[in-house]
């Protein structure tokens, strides 16, 4: 079959809308007709070369849609199901899956950097040549083909443009607080960086009953949003003495849990400076994968637990339906994350807005 997709052919270039070809489904494949696809900063990193993938490639990994067809061995979804796509399929039986770390699934880790699906091959072609898959989803397209472990059924009542956000930014931020830090009611949380992931970490802290919840950013307007998502206090980095603010709210000890969601060298140091001895420091932000970071060694002492998390400890089959229900129950904020809705043809405008820092999330809505 053929369908339209946004293709990146070289670094620092615009995405181009092409008619691409998909080969036939294999036994464990699921074909999803995409209805919505969120623009994530990870896509932006591939476009600008700080995250390296083979080209040409179809970007996008934050998707929701309707299952159109399934391979003959698929049992977890059926045609007609509404689904959110997970960018972390897993085999369920390798060494890391057996260690309850599906994020490190060996077939996934082996094939995702090569731009393939779980069997080490591509289903996409352009001009007769191989077209690569990004994060095993490729959602900036009218259709995507994913492994069945990526296709997660969710209630049909949740709108597609809200549901797609669950697939990456929401799971990463909320999960960091609930699943990785295991935040308990009454414990203190500091979130550094109030973009999409940081705002979701803040509402994860609100759902956990944390107190206080301190939002830190360099932009005042983001701190206003953070308050709407559940921050009880804010600190404007560059103006406020952030460690002193946090100590003043925590009886001089520092925060129980610090979520770093900015990905800048000096915010890594700040994460340790605002944490108490014995704290959880959860690193979500990213920078160029070849960059070196510099941390004052003494700030990491005191039995701090430092964890780098890429998906907030998410188990999509468990967590995506839960997050969808929290939204439908009015407890999870998704509408407020969407800054702009665009068509597939406008995708480069969406990434241009991302470069300006004027977006929380843009969502591509398919016809």
Residue 236: HSE in the Cβ half-sphere, 13 Å Cα cutoff: 7
Residues of the chain with pLDDT under 50: none
Q: Is 165 exposed, middle or buried (0-12, 13-18, 19+ CB in 10 A)?
A: buried
Predicted TM-score of the model (pTM): 0.95
119/1 Cα distance (integer angstroms) = 20
261/247 Cα distance (integer angstroms) = 20
Residues 324 and 155 sit within 8 Å (Cβ to Cβ): yes
40/201 Cα distance (integer angstroms) = 16
137/164 Cα distance (integer angstroms) = 12
> What are the angstrom distances between the C-alpha of 335 and each of 10, 37, 338?
33, 14, 6
Strand 63-70 and strand 29-38: the pairing is antiparallel
For residue 308, give the nearest of 273, 275, 271, 256 by alpha carbon: 271
| Residue 81 confidence (pLDDT) | 98
| Residue 290 confidence (pLDDT) | 83
| Residue 135 confidence (pLDDT) | 96
Q: Classify 10 in phi/psi space as left (phi over 0), alpha (psi -120 to 50) or beta.
A: beta
> What are the angstrom distances between the C-alpha of 258 and each of 3, 26, 178, 233, 247?
43, 43, 13, 14, 13
| Residue 357 confidence (pLDDT) | 87
> What are the angstrom distances between the C-alpha of 300 and each of 7, 19, 131, 366?
42, 51, 44, 46
> DSSP 3-state assignment of 212?
coil
Give the mean pLDDT of the chain. Answer: 96
| Residue 265 confidence (pLDDT) | 78
For residue 90, give the nearest of 316, 359, 290 by alpha carbon: 316
336/96 Cα distance (integer angstroms) = 36
């Amino acid at each position: 079959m053929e369908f339209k997709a946004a293709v990146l052919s070289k670094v620092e270039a615009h995405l181009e809308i092409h008619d691409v070809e998909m080969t036939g489904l294999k036994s464990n494949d699921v074909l999803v007709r995409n209805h919505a696809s969120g623009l994530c900063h990870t896509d932006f990193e591939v476009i600008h070369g700080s995250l390296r993938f083979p080209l040409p490639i179809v970007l996008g990994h934050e998707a929701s849609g309707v299952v159109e067809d399934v391979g003959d061995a698929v049992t977890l979804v059926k045609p007609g199901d509404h689904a959110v796509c997970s960018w972390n399929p897993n085999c369920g039986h390798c060494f890391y899956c057996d260690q309850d770390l599906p994020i490190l699934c060996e077939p996934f880790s082996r094939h995702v950097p090569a731009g393939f699906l779980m069997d080490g091959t591509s289903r996409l072609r352009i001009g007769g040549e191989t077209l690569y898959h990004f994060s095993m989803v490729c959602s900036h397209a009218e259709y995507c083909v994913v492994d069945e472990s990526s296709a997660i059924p969710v209630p049909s009542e949740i709108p597609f443009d809200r549901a797609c956000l669950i697939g990456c930014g929401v799971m990463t931020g909320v999960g960091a607080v609930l699943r990785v830090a295991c935040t308990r009611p009454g414990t203190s949380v500091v979130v550094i960086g109030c973009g999409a992931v940081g705002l979701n970490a803040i509402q994860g802290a609100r759902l956990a009953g944390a107190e206080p919840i301190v939002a830190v950013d360099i932009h005042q307007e983001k701190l206003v949003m953070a308050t709407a998502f559940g921050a009880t206090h804010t600190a404007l980095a560059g103006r406020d003495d952030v460690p002193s603010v946090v100590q003043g709210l925590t009886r001089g000890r520092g925060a129980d849990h610090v979520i770093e969601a900015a990905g800048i060298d000096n915010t890594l140091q700040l994460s340790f400076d605002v944490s108490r001895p014995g704290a959880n420091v959860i690193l979500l932000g990213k920078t160029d994968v070849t960059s070196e970071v510099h941390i004052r060694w003494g700030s990491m002492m005191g039995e701090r637990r430092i964890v780098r998390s890429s998906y907030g400890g998410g188990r999509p089959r468990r967590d995506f339906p839960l997050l969808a229900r929290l939204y439908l129950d009015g407890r999870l904020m998704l509408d407020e994350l969407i800054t702009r809705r665009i068509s597939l043809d406008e995708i480069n405008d969406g990434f241009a807005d991302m470069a300006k820092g004027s977006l929380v999330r843009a969502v591509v809505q398919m016809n």
